[in-house]
Amino acid sequence: MNETKKMNETNETSEANEANEASETLASTRNACDPVAIIGFGIAGYNAATGLRMQGYKGTIDVFSTNDMCPYSPIMTSYYASGNASYQDCFPWDQDKIDRLELTVHDLCPVQQIDASSHSIHTPKGTFPYSKCIVASGSAPACLPFAAECAYGPLVLRTMQDAQTLHDALAEEGCKRVLISGASMVAVKMLEAVLRTGKQATLVGRQSRILSRSAFPEAAERFERCVLAQGAELLLNNSIEHMSAIEDAAHPFGRILRVKFSNGEEREFDLVLVAHGMKSNLGFLDKGIDCQEGILVDEFMRSSNPDIYAAGDVAQAREIVSGERKVVGIFKNAALQGQCAGRAVAAELAGMAPDARFAYQGSLMSNTITCNDALFLSAGACTVPDNGHLETDVDEEITVVRLFEGDRLIGFNISCDHDQPGGRAYELSGMLTRQIREDASR
Ligand SMILES: Cc1cc2nc3c(=O)[nH]c(=O)nc-3n(C[C@H](O)[C@H](O)[C@H](O)COP(=O)(O)OP(=O)(O)OC[C@H]3O[C@@H](n4cnc5c(N)ncnc54)[C@H](O)[C@@H]3O)c2cc1C
């Protein structure tokens, strides 16, 4: 992709005016003609650029990207790794579509620091001024303490590089035994990828059920039965305590991985994959911006700093069931938040208040998880509140668990033995999702 070098200079800082409120100081140093900066060129970043242009912003948009490719979808990485999607399938937008946005994309240019007081962004390629900045840097796999002293770094799944590494490892015939640590959505996607390549797949999870953060026991249990029927091995209530790489010149990877589990058992594997959750990429942020697990934002994705916005896996926006601000890391939220942030920035730079019609309506956690033929769908809350109760219906094909708080539906799970696109499970999921939204608004 093209890179247009921008002037490597920062704005002049304001005259000494220390008694002023921080926001007044910021306003005085900002030059509205400076580019809008977008940090991160993923789903949220791309949609932020779209929102800016849709709202009529004609100025320069500087996009800072860690890589040199079009925005990719992490959702597709497991399908590519197993050979069930092409490399190209991982890129939702082609170069022509991106070119029409007239962006100045700074490839291989990770942001190292935002300096809010001087309205500047520091990167290895220089310092860039901004008028408004949209942080859309996503999240990264959480760290893995058990592997600290092992020369082998377990594989994770987030970037296209991760997907390529897993793809190549699974394509190796001598790779036969694969261990997946974790039992979340990403772990199940990894499990599906391994099963699809015909390898022996073992999943180890600390909890007594898979998908324990989103599934109620009866729905999880049905999903587990389907996964076991596909030949997977589940080691639950268990975890990796230690892992070592034993050199073996005859092995295609030059080593075997010896794993000690918390139940005392020791086993050997050819590959260890890890999915221990995601953490928002916030390391470069100015200390003055209010953050918890993500950047706290309002309904226009504005942070506590008037010129810094956030969208996607890095943003902690209102969640509709609890009414609290949460990071809800799913594709749809990233897209909607990105567009909302872009529109709001464009309006404010044009001297107007953001249009209430384009305010962010709030996040709703939802999952669509398959493991070959097995299907799990969920939305909303997944812990039972004090005045809550569960209602469960089971038939020969499907288990439905509804979570109520008083008479309000606040969450559900559907486990289905056969994934039929457009089938009964999807229809019911759509209906229950609408009901959660309606109940949340009353
Ligand atoms: C394996 C996997 C499967 C998933 N499956 C689903 C699914 O089925 N359905 C669903 O809804 N969601 C799914 N998700 C979640 C979904 O992919 C994310 O919620 C979504 O990608 C978030 O978009 P984003 O733009 O915030 O982050 P990303 O798409 O990750 O983009 C952020 C970009 O910012 C870049 N960046 C990071 N730091 C910097 C920096 N300092 N400077 C510049 N750039 C930076 C990153 O490299 C990245 O390119 C899945 C995620 C994974 C990992």
**What CATH number is associated with residue 43?**
3.50.50.60
> Helix 331-349 to helix 43-54 angle, to the nearest 10 degrees?
40
The average confidence (pLDDT) of the chain is: 92
d(CA 239, CA 168): 26
Q: Tell me, what's the pLDDT at 146?
A: 75
Q: Tell me, what's the pLDDT at 396?
A: 94
Span 52-59, average pLDDT = 97
Q: Are residues 297 and 384 in the same domain?
A: no
Instruction: Tell me how far CA of residue 336 lies from CA of 1, 128, 354, in angstroms.
Output: 25, 27, 15
Q: Are residues 288 and 265 in the same domain?
A: no
Q: Are residues 332 and 435 in the same domain?
A: no
With cut-offs at 50, 70 and 90, classify the pLDDT of residue 151.
Answer: confident
Q: Tell me, what's the pLDDT at 92?
A: 95
Closest ligand 1 atom to 333 CA: 19
Is residue 364 one of the residues assigned to a domain? no
Span 249-267, average pLDDT = 95
Q: Tell me, what's the pLDDT at 22?
A: 35
299-328 pLDDT tens trace: 999 999 999 999 999 999 999 999 999 999
Q: Are residues 58 and 167 in the same domain?
A: no
Q: Is the pLDDT of residue 40 over 80?
A: yes
Cβ partners under 8 Å of residue 315, min gap 6: 44, 135, 294, 295, 297, 301, 327, 337
Is residue 173 one of the residues assigned to a domain? yes
- Give the closest residue (by CA) to ligand 1 atom 3: 75
Q: Are residues 311 and 259 in the same domain?
A: no
Last residue of a domain, one of 257, 276, 295: 276
Is residue 4 one of the residues assigned to a domain? no
Last residue of a domain, one of 242, 276, 310: 276
Residue 223: CB atoms within 10 A of its CB come to: 27
Span 118-125, average pLDDT = 97
d(CA 63, CA 217): 44
pTM above 0.85, yes or no: yes
Span 126-136, average pLDDT = 98
Q: Which residue has the tokens 């509140």?
A: 385
Q: Tell me, what's the pLDDT at 121?
A: 98
Span 13-37, average pLDDT = 52
Is residue 7 one of the residues assigned to a domain? no
Q: Are residues 290 and 333 in the same domain?
A: yes
Q: Are residues 245 and 295 in the same domain?
A: no
Q: Are residues 283 and 207 in the same domain?
A: no
CATH number of the domain that residue 404 is part of: 3.30.390.30
Write a three-state SS string for the chain.
Answer: CCCCCCCCCCCCCCCCCCCCCHHHHHHHHCCCCCCEEEECCCHHHHHHHHHHHHCCCCCCEEEECCCCCCCCCHHHHHHHHCCCCCCHHHCCCCHHHHHCCCCEEECCCCCCEEECCCCEEEECCEEEECCEEEECCCEEECCCHHHCCCCCCCECCCCHHHHHHHHHHHHCCCCCEEEEECCCHHHHHHHHHHHHCCCEEEEEECCCCCCCCCCCHHHHHHHHHHHHHCCCEEEECCCEEEEEEEECCCCCCCEEEEEEECCCCEEEECEEEECCCEEECCCCCCCCCCECCCEECCCCCECCCCCEEECHHHEEEEECCCCCEECCCCHHHHHHHHHHHHHHHHHHHCCCCCCHHHCCCCECCEEEEEECCEEEEEEECCCCCCCEEEEEEECCCEEEEEEEECCEEEEEEEEECCCCCCCHHHHHHHHHHHHHHHHHCC
Q: Are residues 225 and 285 in the same domain?
A: no
Is residue 244 one of the residues assigned to a domain? yes
Q: Residue 44: CB within 6 Å of ligand 1?
A: yes
Lowest mean pLDDT among 24-33, 183-192, 314-323: 24-33
- Number of domains making up the chain: 3
346-383 pLDDT tens trace: 999 999 999 999 999 999 999 999 999 999 999 999 99
Closest ligand 1 atom to 312 CA: 26
92-102 pLDDT tens trace: 999 999 999 99
Q: Residue 40: CB within 6 Å of ligand 1?
A: yes
Last residue of a domain, one of 358, 390, 406: 358
Strands 233-236 and 200-205: parallel
Q: Residue 120: CB within 6 Å of ligand 1?
A: no
With cut-offs at 50, 70 and 90, classify the pLDDT of residue 15.
Answer: very low
Q: What percentage of the chain reaches a pLDDT higher than 70? A: 93
Span 168-197, average pLDDT = 96
Span 160-187, average pLDDT = 96
Q: Residue 294: CB within 6 Å of ligand 1?
A: no
Is residue 12 one of the residues assigned to a domain? no
Residue count of the chain: 442
Pocket test for ligand 1, best of 62, 122, 137 (most atoms within 8 A of CB): 137
With cut-offs at 50, 70 and 90, classify the pLDDT of residue 148.
Answer: low
Q: Is the pLDDT of residue 7 over 60?
A: no
Closest ligand 1 atom to 110 CA: 42
Q: Tell me, what's the pLDDT at 149?
A: 67
With cut-offs at 50, 70 and 90, classify the pLDDT of residue 19.
Answer: very low
Q: Residue 91: CB within 6 Å of ligand 1?
A: no
Residue 416, domain extent? 373-440
